Structure 1
Amino acid sequence: MPWSELMNRKAFAQTMLLLGTVFCCAVAASQTGANTDVTLDRLAKAAKVYFRDTAELPMNIAVTTVVTDAAGKLKRQSQGSVDFLFHGYNPRSDKGTFTVSAGIFKRGAMKESMGGNNAVVFAGLMLRDGLQATPSPEILQPAGAGQPFIVRLNATQCQAFKLKESSLFPGNYCGRWEYRLTESGNDLRFEHFSFDSAGLPTQAKIAYLGDVQVLGFHFDEDFQQAFLPGDAKPFLLPTQVVTTITTDRGMITITNQYAPKDEKAVSQTK
């Protein structure tokens, strides 16, 4: 998953291009018969609406990084902010792109934000490709009125986990994905996405902790529905992504909080 950096005296910018990858998944189905087909059809339609291409949307990311040792003692805590230019999800090429930029003194915050930024695009691309490649993902029906649907996709064949030391995100995304949705009238609304990497534990050298055994790599992302100017269809924006890297020598937790730079440019209702 290539990425490049551009730096001059005043700015440090990074552009990330993520390619949607079709994973071959096999999981147990929670439903049988026509109801499963109807549910998958609704899910696929909702994904095409919410995870689609859009005009560029400038956002700000507040980045908080917390590093603790194996005993849970705080080793490091930092905060910063970076600019995030979101380009949406391209249904024609199954690519998602974004640009992250910050002043040269915020280089650390920009790099630490990248894992969460990847998750923003990955959440949409994986759902589109995963449904195409998986005939029967696990779908858990709501336990009661107002409770969410749970959709799970689980990859059965994954390469060895590799962590990119300089930017704290995997070289490949393979493992277990989970989406939480609720019904809004006749529509399904995405609320939450989580990911747990497979291929662990493994040895790695990572920032702040050094040589470690990586025990877990986890994403949690919360979404918000928004309407953009001139577009009658709802769009999905990130509100928060929490990246957690668990090792035998401690834990790194990175929280990205997203907000449109111009609050008037988006609305929660039509």
Structure 2
Amino acid sequence: MVDERSAYLPPEKHDHWGEETGYRRLHWAAITCLVLAFSSPLGLFYTGFIALPVVSVILGWKAHRDIAKKPEIYAGRAFATIGLFISVVLGTWATYGKSNESDYLYYQAAEQTKHWLGYLKEGKLGHAHQVMLSIEGGRNFEVRDIEEFYQNDRGMLEEQNARFARQPMKMMLDHIDRWNPDDLVVIKDVLIKNVKRNERQIVQEYMLPLTGSEQQAIGFRIQYWRRFFPEGRASHWQLEGIGMLDGTYGEDAGDPHAGHNH
């Protein structure tokens, strides 16, 4: 005996014109819910796709509601149920993974900043300047003694001096005896932006307390550019931009010493 609720009914369920009288069509929202559910893991790689499981759940709920109201017209309750389950599971997994990745990148950015401040503190301005250069823009990986290299390369030394004559680097160097890299405080995790495949921009705001006064500190913002090399499981960090928190953040696009833009 054929189930009266089956989506496909036997020939006797046709009228004398040959038209089906008991056919139920699959609800479009149930099918779409299932398709989006299987696409949910894309949110782990692309932030915008985090919305996919949310949309899938909404469509799954709509399909269930419409099918319950008009069971003689719509079929697909099983598809909607499976889609809802997969959306919740994969969506939660993708969101959790994305959150962990963001926390990791922000943590690494703060560590990179402490490392960079350590170069300034130790007087290794050449090393600190190298962090601000891109791979394509003059970073030297093969030079053994970076500081000696800068003393022998007038062009690089002039660019280094020009960079560190700006704020907040000048202020940091002027008060170098009053701060410690380990005292760095992250004020705000501002932004993580996907630039290209395996490339991110990370922006953070910091406060560097100055000894001798509880009310004095250097506030600044840094924008990093980070490229990941999956073949070697390594990453390259570039301090792409730095500025004070009083609105002077960023560099003049016409400045020959401006950071490398992506």
TM-score (norm 2): 0.30
Q: Which has the larger radius of gyration?
A: 2
Point out the structure with the larger helix share: 2
Q: Determine which structure has greater relative contact order: mean sequence separation of CA pairs < 8 Å that are 6+ residues apart, divided by chain length.
A: 1
Point out the structure with the larger strand share: 1
TM-score (norm 1): 0.29
